[in-house]
Amino acid sequence: MTEIESNVSTSVPKRNSERRRRGRRRGKSAKQANDVEVADNSSSQEANSNSATKLKEKNETKSSKVSKLSLLAPVFEPGKPFKASEGNGESSAKPVTDQKLANKKTDRRRGKPKSGKDEAVKKLSSEKNDGSTEAHNPSKKETQKKQRNRRKINISKLDLGSKITYEIKTGQYECLICTDSVKHRHPVWYCNTCFHVFHLKCITKWCTNSLQNMNERNWRCPACQTQQEETDLKYRCWCGKYEKPEYVRGSMPHSCSEPCGKKRGPQCEHRCPLLCHPGPCPPCSSVIEQFCLCGSESRMTRCGAKSGLSSEFRCENVCGELLPCGKHTCERVCHSGTCGQCDKMVTVTCFCGNESKKIACKNARSPAVCETITDDGSVKSWKGSYSCGAICKRRYNCGVHECGKPCHPEKADLGPCPLSPENVTHCPCRKNELKNIITKPRTSCSDPIPTCNEKCEKTLKCGHKCQSKCHLGPCLSCTAVVKTSCRCGFNEFEVPCESIQQGHEVTCERLCPVLRNCGRHQCNKKCCPGYPKAQKRLAKRPKGPRLTRYLMTEEFEEEHICVHTCGKTLSCGLHKCEHMCHRGPCPRCLQASFDELSCTCGRTKLYPPIPCGAKPPVCNYQCTLQKACGHPAVKHACHPTTEPCPSCVFLMEKLCLCRKTLVKNQPCWKENVFCGKVCGKLLPCGVHTCKKTCHPEGKCESSCTSICGRKKTYCEHHCSKPCHGRSPCNEFERCTELIEVSCKCGLRKEKVPCATCFDDPEPKHEVSCDDKCAIPERNRKLAEALNIDPDRAVRHLGEYNSDVVEFYAENKEFCEGVEQTLRSFCLSVRPLYSFPPMKTAFRRFIHQLSAIYCLQSESMDPEPRRSVVVHNRGISKVPSIPLSTALVYASKYPNVLQKAEVIQTTATPESDAIHYNALILLNVRDGVDEVELQKRLSDLSYVSDYKWSFHAVEQSYIMRPLNSDTIRNLLSLLISMRPLINRRLVIPGLIECCELCEVDSQDRLLRVHNRRPNTKHVANLRLQKEAPLSVTNRFDALEI
């Protein structure tokens, strides 16, 4: 024994012994795992002896591998230096521990390259032991080759069951639904048709969605699209015997480890002997006796080989069985099934014997014996098989009448004539005997048969009785009229029975209103025969939520199947549905493009096949399209050409539409620029000018719509006729303006037309006094007699102004409630009172009335929850007379009331408030012009009721009413509009704020209202008067 062999025998690696002990503990599970790893075909799984042999070979291979590694393993003894044998020499090295050897083996398992020293030791040991090792183990090379083959398994050469087993064991099998690997402990479900394996959770969700969303009766397998009827899916083993099989480490996952026991075909009586396995069972290998198709010979063959058509066993003998005709035998070579009918051609003769032909034996009927008498008196007989259709001309015994029937089986003697007196004893209707009808009896068959005078009443084919008189020959057609339903069963008609017997169908003109199976088109057939069937079908329909699902599977009658083409636009938006008209959504478009689909810049692509209607891919790169204006573009993502690029926001100077003003800081994208100035061009009338703001050339008012407005010659009124140019007004027509005329005492007043004209320049207007006019005079005299001042309360009328009294006259109920509230509030100790939210006009009345009561009021909260809060500062006073009394005195003494003026809610000097005649929109955002501002404010009642001009001042716009002279309470209007405009424009960020301002006749800014401080109190209007207009920024002149 050499030194190397002694080293091998003395130092056995621990790993080898551990693997053997582990292999013994595994038992049956290790054998199954080894069978799957080495399997090359499915038939090797049937023999347990083969698997045991392979397990033995594997253990021997492992032992040889360990022996090979042992040859290279150095001898190490504790406490002694390391020694490694390399040929005859010895080399010393540092001591190596067991941990380093284990690390070295681990590195080799991970594929790390071996060191040069290891390669040298392996080479030297192999050269020295070439003879001894090969002699000791001559199958070493074969064992190594088998090991390499076992490690490299070609999956493509495995059958379906072995492939599924290998991939599940190695964790390579993926679920087609979630594309995740199928683990050993995951509940699974497999299709019995294609044997694909899915996660039980995934396939259950797939089944539920198919039944609910797709409205189908059955669901389909995701792999093979086979319809599945099972809806209660459960986790079973491969053979289906047990539910929820327990996984045993080392055994086949999802297996019960028992024989499969499945049937392998309808002709196989043997069960599958393999252990529970995935995929189809292999063909049966049992040997059975197989008979030929005719059953005359037999042979021994495998049971699994007889299932195919190509494996049928046929002998070469002729069948020879007697055919159903009973005359001929089967001449076919060994065949399956019955022999069938006889196809042999035979010659047959007709019943009259005049014709003969050849037909198949299976079509020949049983022959009948026919006889006839020849001229020499002998009887001739033959066998007839069919009727040739010729009329029989043989005569009866009378020798006068012929048979007249078509070709029929004949006898030698036809018998007596059917018209002989012995056979005819009654009239044709069979009601009376001939002896009772005629006096002279019939003597021969040639004598006529008499008829009676009664009705025939023979039963016709339709079931009615013949209504004709007794007659010879066949009865005429039925003349009865019957009541029958039409084809749709909706109407009834009376028609002759003859037409029904002839096959005529009774129809009506009613159109069928039933919807066809598509649910879109009506039947609209006249007298539809499917209408009764549709009524029965509609009566079976369920109600409620089950109706939608029932309609998808409802069976329609043949008459109500829609044959139109669907024609709906598919989801792609390009093609139409070409299927027959149907319910529910159309299928997806099957058209596809095989060209690449790229974005606008071409840097992002979708590769074919591209579904029809697919949109270009979303590109994350920046857009590369060039602007037509040449300005730098705003950075934005790539987009389709159908979508425009963002508007160019480069600021530049542009001419307005009227070509009068060069407006600065206008965005490039803006085409129409407005300067806000009134056009002022003379209209065709030659009197008035165009009042439209900045507009394109030639877009002035086409015709003058103003009132003439010229002052009349004979009165102070103006012409109210439409503009008539420079032609003079018609002074011959009387003036229709109303004027107020009073009676002599001045108490009674009436409005009458002015009525001045060229012919009557000073018409008389008289109003006569009535009984009410005498009352004041009587009261005056009575007061003088009693020393009473009758007008003592008139002096208190001046506490109210005209607006308050007029508003009270129109809204008495509301105003009386407010007046009563303010009176109670003045007498109480409460510091403030809050009114509920209300409209602007009602809030204005409360402000004015609070000023009369010396109360301070302010508006709170934005619209539509804006309300008024009244503060009592301790200086309140109650007017001497109520509003109801003031209204009565105001009608008598209108000149006593104060003039209408704005009641300020704060202590604002009157000299500062009366000059505001416009609004200014401060710090307008770039890109916002007067058109957008007008659009934002167009739905406000104040803006729509009056005409406004917008004039640009630096970064602001001045908003001024054009007809400010005719607006009553202009300042009150501007104060009411300011919060409304702030809510519309400040909240979206279009402007900074809106304030009151004063402008001159040329729209030059004179002063601006001071900005409101950050406090709950209203800011006082404190402005620096007469601010110089030459300053660079007019807003710097404000006193903040």
What percentage of the chain has pLDDT greater than the value 70? 78
Average pLDDT in the chain: 77
Tell me, what's the pLDDT at 196? 92
Higher pLDDT, 909 or 847: 847
Using the predicted structure, report yes or no on whether residue 10 has a pLDDT greater than 60.
no
The pLDDT confidence band at residue 445, using thresholds 50, 70 and 90, is confident
CA 501 to CA 477: how far, in whole Å? 9
| Lowest mean per-residue pLDDT among 310-319, 369-378, 419-428, 822-831 | 310-319
Annotate 512-565 with three-state secondary structure.
Answer: CCCECCCCCCECCCECCCCHHHHHHHHHCCCCCCHHHHHHHCCCCCHHHCCCCE
Q: What was the pLDDT predicted at 436?
A: 83
pLDDT bucket at 388, cuts 50 / 70 / 90: confident
* Residue 895, pLDDT score: 65
User: Please, which pLDDT band fits residue 140 given cuts at 50, 70 and 90?
Assistant: low
> Rounded distance, CA 397 to CA 412, Å?
11
Using the Cα atoms of residue 858, residue 860, residue 863 and residue 868 in order, give the sign of their dihedral.
Answer: negative
CA distances from 322 to 317, 331, 334, 341, 518 (A): 15, 10, 14, 10, 57
Strand runs labelled E in 231-350: 287-291, 298-302, 345-350
pLDDT at residue 139, as a whole number = 58
Architecture of domain 791-896: 2-Layer Sandwich (3.30)
Of all helices (H) and strands (E), which one includes residue 228? strand 227-228
C-beta separation of 409 from 392 below 8 A:
no
- Parallel/antiparallel/unpaired status of strands 287-291 and 298-302: antiparallel
Q: Assess whether pLDDT exceeds 90 at residue 200.
A: yes
Containing 891, the helix (H) or strand (E) segment is helix 883-892
Tens of pLDDT, residues 566-617? 999 998 888 999 999 988 889 888 888 888 999 999 899 988 888 888 889 9
Half-sphere CA count of 10, side-chain side, radius 13 A: 11
Q: What CA–CA distance (Å, rounded) separates 693 from 707?
A: 20
Q: What is the pLDDT of residue 912?
A: 37
3-state SS class at 107: helix
Say if residue 132's pLDDT is above 60.
no
Which residue type occupies 349? T
**pLDDT at residue 759 in the model:** 86
What whole-number distance in Å separates Cα of residue 177 and Cα of residue 180?
Answer: 8
Average pLDDT over every residue of 469-490: 88
Pair of tokens at residue 806: 């007029």
Lowest mean pLDDT among 1-15, 96-110, 286-300, 746-760: 1-15
pLDDT digits (tens, 9 = 90+) for 992-1026: 888 888 888 877 887 777 654 433 333 333 333 33
Whether 299 contacts 290, CB under 8 Å: yes
Cβ count near 453 (within 10 Å): 9
* Own/partner long-range contacts of 721-726 (Cβ < 8 Å, ≥24 apart): 723/685, 723/687, 723/688, 724/685, 725/685, 725/686, 725/687, 726/685, 726/686, 726/687
User: What's the CA gap between 319 and 329, in Å, rounded?
Assistant: 8
> Tokens 């200086």 correspond to what residue?
875
- Assign 797 to helix, strand or coil: helix
Using the structure block, give the residue that is written with the tokens 């209504």.
Answer: 467
Interior angle at CA 950, CA 945 and CA 956, nearest 5: 130
Report which residue type is found at 431.
Answer: K
Q: Is-contact 767 749, C-beta < 8 A?
A: yes
Find the mean pLDDT for residues 893-913.
45
For residue 235, pLDDT beyond 90 = yes
Confidence band of 499 (pLDDT split at 50, 70, 90): confident
Burial of 950 (0-12, 13-18, 19+ CB in 10 A): buried
- Look at 267-281, 283-297, 623-637 and tell me which has the smallest mean pLDDT: 283-297
What does the pLDDT average to over 9-32?
41
624-646 mean pLDDT? 88
490: its two tokens: 């909706």
Residue 101 banded pLDDT, cuts 50, 70, 90:
very low
Please state the pTM of the whole predicted model.
0.35
What count of residues does the chain have? 1040
How far lies 162's CA from each of 44, 120, 191, 282, 664, in Å?
11, 42, 16, 11, 83
Residue 315: predicted pLDDT = 86
Residue 381: pLDDT band (50, 70, 90) is confident
At 28 the pLDDT is 39
> Based on the number of CB atoms within 10 Å of its own CB, is 606 exposed (0-12), middle (13-18) or buried (19 or more)?
middle
Predicted confidence band of residue 32 (pLDDT cuts 50, 70, 90):
very low
Nearest Cα neighbor of 449 from 487, 422, 419, 486 is 419
Phi, psi dihedrals of residue 22, rounded to the nearest 5°:
-65, -35
pLDDT in tens, 968-998: 678 878 888 888 888 888 888 888 888 888 8
Residue from 928, 971, 965, 964 nearest 948 by CA: 964
Instruction: Write down the pLDDT at residue 144.
Output: 62
Q: Are 720 and 707 in contact (CB under 8 A)?
A: yes
Q: Are 161 and 103 in contact (CB under 8 A)?
A: no
Q: Which residue has the tokens 């009918």?
A: 341
Lowest model confidence (mean pLDDT) among 115-124, 188-197, 283-292: 115-124
pLDDT at 13: 37
H/E element, 130: helix 130-136
The answer on pLDDT for 775 being more than 50 is yes
pLDDT score of 834: 92
CA 81, 83, 86 angle in degrees (round to 5)? 160
Answer for the pair 985, 947: CB distance below 8 angstroms, yes or no.
Answer: no
Angle between helices 48-72 and 140-151 (to 10 degrees): 110
Those residues with Cβ within 8 angstroms of residue 523's Cβ, 6 or more apart along the chain or in another chain = 511, 512, 513, 514, 515, 516, 530, 531, 559, 560
Task: Residue 385: name the closest of 365, 410, 400, 399 by CA.
Answer: 365
Q: Which residues contact 629 (CB under 8 A, 6 or more apart)?
A: 648, 650, 668
Tell me which of 222-231, 297-306, 609-618 is least confident: 297-306
- Euclidean distance between CA atoms 710 and 718, whole angstroms: 5
Angle at 287 between CA 285 and CA 291, to 5 degrees: 125
167 three-state secondary structure: helix
pLDDT tier at 306 (50, 70, 90 boundaries)? low
Q: With pLDDT > 90 as the criterion, what percentage of the chain qualifies?
A: 12
pLDDT value at residue 1024: 34
Q: Specify the pairing of strand 956-961 against strand 918-922.
A: antiparallel
